[in-house]
Amino acid sequence: MIQNIEMSAFIPSLPWVRQIISRALEVMLQAITRYGLFLALIDAAAYFFRIRYRKGLQDIPGPFWASILSFDRVITTASGKQQHKHLQYHNTYGPFVRVGPNHVSISRGEFITQIYGIGNAYPKSEFYSVFDAITPHGVRFPTLFSIRDEKAHKSLKRPVASAFSMTSLVELEPLTDICIEILINKLNRKQGQSVDFGTWLHWYAFDVITSLTFSTRQGFMETETDVDGIINAIEGRLVYNSIIGQVPFLHKFLLGNNFIAACAQAVPLVAKLNTVRSIVKFAASQLEKRTMGKSLSSNDQNHDLLDRFRRVRDSEEVMTNGDLLNHAASNVFAGSDTTAISLRSMFYYLCKNKRCYEKLREEIDNMDKEGSLSSPITFGEASRMPYLQACMKEAMRLHPAVGQMLERVVPEEGAQFGQHWLPPGTIVGINPWVVSRERTVYGEDVDDFRPERWLDATPEAAKYMQRNFLAVSLSSSSKPHCNLKLTPLALSSDQEGALVLGRIFLCSKCPNLFQNYSGASTLSYQAP
């Protein structure tokens, strides 16, 4: 039988021997610690060296820290000014900038088709995974924006693509006209008062999108409030998605983890970030009403997007009820915010540029005197107003709805971009803010609001500018909902040919709409 043996029995009992052994052990531990730390530093240096000088990326210029750490992108995104940082980088380093350890930003629009064109082999990066939605029952599902598999994306998009064509959306104009009427009536009661114009445009945009989708408004304009805090929550979730999307591996430890997400629902501030849950709930209730025949009269059937989705679902087995709900909810979530941004941008630049404002007023006046305008002005009439069209393009060029690089992954065979060959797995993309200020395309005055650049250009130059106009030129990489942005940009004509909301007093120091996520311009309003 083996008995326990005390190790102390083998250590000599003499004090000086014990001291020697203790000192020896102490020295050994110090050496191990010192050399261990040294080896760790060597290993870390080697790791960052491999990242910094990765084959294919070592010659791409850019900030040093951005080339070895992802937190440069996290910090610039959290500040809400990544678009300005990317502009600064490209002005400093040129058309190709390494903005991350494995990220390359490109400013040249000639590569838009190569990266985002239909049928290309550039899949979406993990950035998009943070945009997956969650139903009220806690079921996670990819949206048309977040889905990364190209075949699945096409399968989900194909049945409803025709519903988002401009021809189809123009048929829904009566729903938009109702919202315009509500907005004008509301603001007529506030003549002589100061109004938060940006907020009203956001309420209007949200009511327009829900009207187009469900023939039912959520009542932002009627109640003059952010109904259920949805707008504020959407902005909060977009901030989370934008920041965590820079380091998407963290998402599975945060709101991408079902357990964490369930626990977070008990925290009101965090629970608000799951706005899609509220929107899905609203969409599900509208779908249930429509299925039960309670929402629309027989005369109104097939006059909104939800009914058109249902028609596709009923005629094609490829579209499930889940897909139907996905499209309806995604439409509201994706369309409302981008529409509001485009509206704010257009009116902001018109208010800041009196010459352009007066020139547009003159165009409206002339057409109104000719009897060529309805009230509200129809999309067809607006499309025949060249200066209006130029103003819309110029506003969206200067302030695109998206201020981040639209990420794609270089395919397995690698890719050639001009003189640069990028290895497979490299994340590459174009920031709409950067490409819309490309001087070789739009001229040296790219920072100026000058709608005439679209009218004075030769046909070839105009086509070139349009091809580089990432705000509207994306195809499968964008959502079919992009046409929704242009539909509400209609005008309301009266005997004096005023803009949509009547008269807006122009001020020399118009507050900046874009200082923060919720900031809006406070303008003085006078009814026509």
Q: Where does the pLDDT of residue 434 fall: very low under 50, low under 70, confident under 90, or very high at 90 and above?
A: very high
Is the CB of residue 237 less than 8 Å from the CB of residue 273? Answer: yes
Rounded CA-CA distance 353/161 in Å is: 37
* Structural tokens at position 386: 């060249």
pLDDT exceeds 90 at position 245: yes
pLDDT of residue 315: 64
Length of the chain: 528
The answer, yes or no, to whether residue 328 has pLDDT greater than 70, is yes
The confidence band for 302, taking pLDDT boundaries of 50, 70 and 90, is very low
Asked if the model's pLDDT at residue 286 lies above 50, the reply is yes
Residue-wise pLDDT tens digits, 35-51: 767 677 777 777 777 88
Q: Burial level of 528, CB count in 10 A (0-12/13-18/19+)?
A: middle
Specify the higher pLDDT residue, 33 or 5. Answer: 33
Least confident residue range of 129-138, 146-155, 296-305: 296-305
pLDDT of residue 527: 37
pLDDT at 502: 34
Q: Give the HSE-up count for residue 27: Cα atoms under 13 Å, Cβ half-sphere.
A: 6
Reported as a pLDDT band with limits 50, 70 and 90, residue 29 is confident
Q: What percent of the chain has pLDDT over 90?
A: 27
What value does the mean pLDDT of the chain take? 78
Residue 363 CA to residue 300 CA, distance in Å, equals 35
Does the structure show a pLDDT above 70 at 515?
A: no
Average pLDDT of span 369-386: 84
β-sheet with 503-504: strand ranges across: 194-196, 522-526, 503-504
| Topology of domain 132-400+436-526, CATH | Cytochrome p450 (1.10.630)
Strands (E), 107-207: 133-134, 140-141, 194-196
Residues 402 and 238: their CA atoms lie apart, in Å, by 11
Range from 94-108, 149-163, 213-227, 298-312 carrying the lowest mean pLDDT = 298-312
134 vs 140: CA distance, rounded Å: 4
For the record, the structure tokens of 262 come out as 């369930």
Mean pLDDT of 420-426: 95
pLDDT tens per residue across span 495-505: 332 334 333 33
Structure tokens, 324: 């139907």
pLDDT for residue 273:
62
Collapse the DSSP code of 241 into the 3-class scheme (helix H, G, I; strand E, B; otherwise coil) and give the result. Answer: helix
pLDDT at 244 (0 to 100)? 93
Tell me the C-alpha distance between 210 and 149, whole Å: 28
Q: Is the pLDDT of residue 309 over 70?
A: yes
- Output the six-digit token pair for 299: 């005369």
- What is the average pLDDT across 289-293? 69
pLDDT at 514 over 90: no
Tokens 């507050």 label which residue?
511
Alpha-carbon separation of residue 34 from 27, 45, 160, 342 (angstroms)? 10, 16, 64, 59
